[in-house]
């Protein structure tokens, strides 16, 4: 109790008044001590709360960054899957084109085989006609021999019959030559017709392939344009998000400044009150 002793020594002889005064002084000192302790406790609490708040904000920013990274990763994975799907589609198209080319080759080979068969049949018919002609010649020879014997028996009618046979023979040969000429012309027409059709088919195929190339080029252009638009939109969204984030940071900074100034103001007021006391 050195303080009490000091106070007693200061006050002089112990009286009722001095005891009351001492009691008042002790009460005042206890009151100030409690007030100081309360203030220190409050300041510690505020300091702890601020620290916790800063920790929470740091954790929140960290989680936000993590989420942003995860979103970016997911976007990259999505773009990769999309590219894979597009490449798969392109491979499927290429396979389909290859199958179409294969079918065309098969059809062409089949037509060639059919043409070869038709030529073979035509050669067979020609051989049959040649044989028939040979038989006709043999029969003609036989008839000529028979006529010769008849002419020997009938000299009067021989000349007339000879002229008649000559005319018939010439007529047959003429008709035969005309028939051959017609057949050659018909074959030529059919051949030219087949060649013309083949050229037309090739032309149509070239035009179709050209159109397909144009269409693929247009599709690629449209895809590139959509991709650019999408990229611009995403960039604008990111820029907007950055602006918002800057605004939020500025707001937090201003809020902290206000809180700091408010705390400083309170400190000054408390200091003035202590001075007054």
| 106 is a domain residue | no
Instruction: Confirm whether 273 is domain-assigned.
Output: no
Q: Find the domain containing 165 and state its range.
A: 158-194
pLDDT computed for residue 268 by the predictor: 86
Residues 211 and 217: their CA atoms lie apart, in Å, by: 10
| pLDDT reported for residue 87 | 92
pLDDT the model gives residue 161: 74
Domain tally for the chain?
Answer: 1
pLDDT at residue 66, as a whole number: 92
Domain membership of residue 274 (yes or no) is: no
pLDDT computed for residue 3 by the predictor: 45
Flag whether 119 is in a domain: no
Euclidean distance between CA atoms 260 and 255, whole angstroms:
8
Distance CA(107)–CA(257), nearest Å, equals 85
CA distance 115 to 104: 16
Count of alpha carbons within 13 angstroms of residue 219, beta-carbon side:
9
Which residue ranges of the chain lie beneath pLDDT 70? 1-16, 277
User: Could you tell me if residue 174 is inside a domain?
Assistant: yes
Q: What percent of the chain has pLDDT over 70?
A: 94
**CA separation for the pair 148, 142 (Å, rounded):** 10
In a domain, 166, yes or no: yes
177 assigned to some structural domain: yes
Residue 126 belongs to what H/E stretch?
A: helix 16-153
Calpha distance 277→272 (Å, rounded): 9
d(CA 223, CA 219): 6
42 lies in a domain? no
């Amino acid at each position: 109790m050195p303080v009490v002793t000091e106070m007693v020594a200061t006050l002089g002889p112990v009286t009722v008044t001095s005891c009351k005064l001492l009691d008042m002084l002790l009460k005042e000192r206890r009151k100030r001590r409690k007030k100081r302790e309360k203030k220190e406790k409050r300041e510690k609490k505020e300091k702890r709360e601020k620290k916790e708040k800063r920790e929470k904000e740091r954790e929140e920013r960290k989680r936000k960054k993590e989420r942003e990274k995860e979103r970016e990763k997911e976007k990259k994975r999505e773009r990769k899957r999309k590219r894979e799907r597009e490449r798969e589609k392109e491979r499927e198209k290429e396979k389909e084109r290859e199958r179409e080319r294969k079918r065309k080759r098969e059809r062409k080979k089949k037509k060639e085989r059919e043409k070869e068969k038709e030529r073979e049949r035509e050669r067979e018919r020609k051989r049959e006609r040649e044989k028939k002609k040979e038989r006709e010649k043999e029969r003609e020879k036989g008839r000529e021999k028979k006529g010769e014997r008849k002419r020997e028996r009938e000299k009067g009618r021989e000349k007339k019959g000879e002229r008649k046979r000559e005319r018939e023979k010439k007529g047959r040969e003429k008709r035969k030559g005309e028939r051959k000429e017609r057949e050659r012309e018909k074959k030529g027409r059919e051949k030219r017709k087949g060649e013309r059709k083949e050229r037309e088919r090739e032309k149509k195929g070239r035009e179709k392939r050209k159109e397909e190339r144009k269409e693929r080029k247009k599709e690629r252009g449209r895809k590139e344009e959509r991709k650019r638009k999408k990229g611009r939109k995403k960039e604008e969204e990111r820029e907007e998000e950055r602006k918002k984030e800057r605004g939020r940071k500025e707001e937090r900074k201003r809020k902290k400044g206000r809180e700091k100034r408010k705390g400083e103001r309170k400190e000054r007021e408390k200091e003035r009150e202590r001075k007054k006391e």
